[in-house]
């Protein structure tokens, strides 16, 4: 069984600064790490590898420094590391990102299962997984919190309780699933793998390697129908509030005064 995990390198969102005028994240302002939801995706793949003897490939699209995250993925149990990196991929929206990722997947051969996170913590659109599945013309399930069965033909998953209903879905393979944080707890890497990961090099691919599947006009800023024109970081605000416990009479008095004030 060949499993592919999509991993995005994201900045530490507690420290990162935004370039509000250009509408971009200033990635140099904070350290980067594997998108936390993708850690769960990777762990899900490694768990399946441990049960099934599957091979786990990790694919990222990003600047050359994202190789660090791929090494981290190796330390956590991945077998093969692929990095899509090319200046022409820069500024991609979700559509151009998904089209580029799916072109790379087509060029790499076939996978039985693709696993991604439900969303990234920087762009936060939760669109890329579904778009990749559409471009590959394979079924997908989002908000997966458990893999209940897997065989060479299909996967059975349970999907987070959305609007009061928890669903079980069966998907024919190849398929894509986007996982939530509830699916598992990512494990720490072993010392041996951590040391070995320092020597690992990812296989690099650029636009020229994908020329049979995608043209330059469909990648990066040029290929992106969505433009983020401005980012506004809201000012933190505090409203005055009063917590009243077990004192219905006092609550009624306060409400009366407030209603009276608002009518004046």
Binding site for ligand FAD (CB under 6 A): 6-8, 25, 35, 37-38, 41, 60-62, 92-94, 97, 101, 116-117, 119-120, 122-129, 226, 228, 231
How many Cβ atoms from other residues are within 10 Å of residue 234's Cβ? 5
CB of 176 to ligand FAD, least distance (A): 10
**Residue whose CB is less far from ligand FAD, 132 or 155:** 132
Q: Count of residues for the chain? A: 264
CA pair distance 38, 224, nearest whole angstrom:
23
Kindly state the smallest distance separating residue 155's Cβ from ligand FAD, in Å.
Answer: 17
CB of 256 to ligand FAD, least distance (A): 45
Cα gap 196→191, rounded to integer Å? 9
The tokens of 194 are what? 């951590």
Min dist CB 34 to ligand FAD, Å, is: 9
Q: Which is nearer to ligand FAD, 4 or 150 (CB)?
A: 4
CB of 125 to ligand FAD, least distance (A): 3
Closest CA to 44 of 76, 66, 89: 76
Query: What does the CA dihedral 128, 84, 96, 17 come to, rounded to 10 degrees?
Result: 70
- Nearest-CB residue for ligand FAD: 123
Looking at the Cβ atoms of 62 and 77, the one nearer to ligand FAD is: 62
Whole-number minimum distance, CB 132 to ligand FAD, in Å? 7
Q: Which is nearer to ligand FAD, 37 or 74 (CB)?
A: 37
Cα 45 from Cα 39, distance rounded (Å): 10
**Can you tell me the distance from the alpha carbon of 132 to that of 108, in angstroms, rounded to the nearest whole number?**
14
CB of 120 to ligand FAD, least distance (A): 3
Residue for token pair 């979700």: 94
Nearest residue (CB) to ligand FAD, 38 versus 86: 38
4 three-class SS: strand
Q: Select 50 or 125, whichever has its Cβ closest to ligand FAD.
A: 125
- DSSP calls for 138-176: --EEEEEEEEEEE-SSEEEEEEEEETTEEEEEEEESSEE
Are the C-beta atoms of residues 231 and 124 closer than 8 Å to each other?
A: no
Query: Of 31 and 253, which has the nearer Cβ to ligand FAD?
Result: 31
Cis ω for the linkage preceding 174 (within 30 of 0): yes
């Amino acid at each position: 069984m060949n499993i592919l995990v999509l991993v995005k390198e994201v900045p530490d969102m507690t420290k990162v600064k935004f370039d509000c005028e250009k509408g971009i994240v200033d990635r140099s302002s904070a350290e980067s790490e594997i998108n936390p939801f993708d850690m769960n995706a990777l762990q899900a793949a490694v768990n399946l590898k441990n049960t099934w003897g599957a091979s786990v490939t990790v694919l990222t699209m990003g600047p050359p420094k994202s190789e660090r995250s791929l090494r981290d993925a190796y330390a956590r149990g991945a077998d093969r590391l692929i990095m899509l990196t090319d200046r022409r991929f820069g500024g991609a929206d979700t559509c151009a990102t998904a089209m580029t990722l799916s072109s790379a997947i087509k060029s790499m051969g076939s996978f039985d299962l693709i696993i991604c996170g439900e969303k990234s913590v920087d762009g936060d659109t939760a669109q890329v997984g579904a778009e990749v599945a559409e471009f590959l013309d394979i079924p997908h399930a989002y908000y997966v919190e458990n893999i209940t069965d897997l065989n060479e033909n299909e996967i059975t998953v349970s999907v987070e309780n959305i609007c009061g209903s928890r669903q079980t879905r069966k998907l024919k393979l190849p398929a894509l699933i986007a996982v939530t944080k509830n699916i598992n707890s990512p494990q720490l890497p072993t010392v041996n793998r951590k040391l070995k990961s320092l020597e690992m090099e990812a296989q690099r691919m650029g636009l020229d390697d994908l020329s049979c599947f995608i043209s330059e006009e469909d990648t990066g800023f040029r290929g992106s129908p969505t433009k983020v024109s401005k980012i506004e970081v809201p000012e933190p605000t505090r409203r005055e509030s009063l917590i009243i416990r077990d004192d219905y009479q006092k609550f009624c008095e306060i409400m009366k005064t407030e209603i009276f004030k608002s009518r004046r």
